[in-house]
Amino acid sequence: MKIDPDYLLQREFPKVTESYSEKDCILYALGVGMGLDPEDEEALRFVYEDGLKVMPSQPVVMAHPGFWASENDIGLDWVKILHLGQELIFHKPLPPSGSVEAVTRFTDIIDRGKRLGALLITERVVRDSATGEDICTIITDVLARGDGGFGGERKSKKKTDVIPSRDADKVCDLETSTQQALIYRLSGDHNPLHVMPQIARDAGFKSPILHGLSTMGVMTHALLKTCCDYQPERFKRLRLRFSAPVYPGETIRTEIWEEAEHIAFRCKSLEQDKVVINNGYLSLT
């Protein structure tokens, strides 16, 4: 079954409504490594209910439509898909408890040919159910490696953010825990690739890997700490590309460049000596 881009661009996803509590916010923060340093009182504000702060990246797990790539009418070889990129546009901070709703839609379907696959871009706007106010717009790039060659548009409209060639202005090293994937999955991503050793080996990894969005959460912590004095309301727009997996227990180094109107960044696994997040862009208020 080939991808039908016209069908996908008009496909309707059901509205998802989700209630959440302070406990859910704390669980998400623990799943991205907040609280590992018991002496970092600013980071502890994200895992302690008295005056709780909410991670700006948390909307990525909220009012999610589920694993739509495996649904029959989508027409994907879903085993071969990769989470390629993520963008978040922040409209207002997420309250520490409440109810949100969102509807997902496809915004672009790009045919890169049989060898390179297809790029599918979705958009989800998370809104406060009580007020109708937009909280965060979430744009996700998925590469369907086994589904190119259907004859669609061949060029993406999205630009790639450039990392400066000079040395980084700031560096932030943050450890992950060996249990981090086990905690992060409780926020909604139950893929056994991140838990079961044999499934990970069958997929070509030496052991279960950390969720890409948990790695993104560690990166968000680094940017909060280094650029924002732990003020999540300062985040305005964030985008990045995933380039390699992280194994739980590794240390993630976030390299930061302070440009005239934005912050550029990338992340490396120190143990692998490999870039795991690249082409990062952050604008602040």
What does the chain come to in residues?
285
Tokens 């379907």: give the residue. Answer: 109
Structure tokens at 138: 């979430």
Q: Is position 189 annotated as part of the catalytic site?
A: yes
Q: Is position 169 annotated as part of the catalytic site?
A: no
Catalytic: which of 24, 189, 211, 221?
Answer: 189
Catalytic: which of 64, 194, 211, 221?
Answer: 194
242 neighbors 85 (Cβ within 8 angstroms): yes
Whole-angstrom Cα Rg for the chain: 18
Using DSSP, state whether 93 is helix, strand or coil.
Answer: coil
Report which residue type is found at 12: E
Nearest residue to 153 via CA among 125, 124, 121: 121
Q: How far apart are CA 135 and CA 104, in angstroms?
A: 14
CB-based contacts of 46, cutoff 8 Å, min separation 6: 25, 26, 29, 34, 35, 52, 53, 54, 55
90 neighbors 235 (Cβ within 8 angstroms): yes
Catalytic center residues: 189, 194
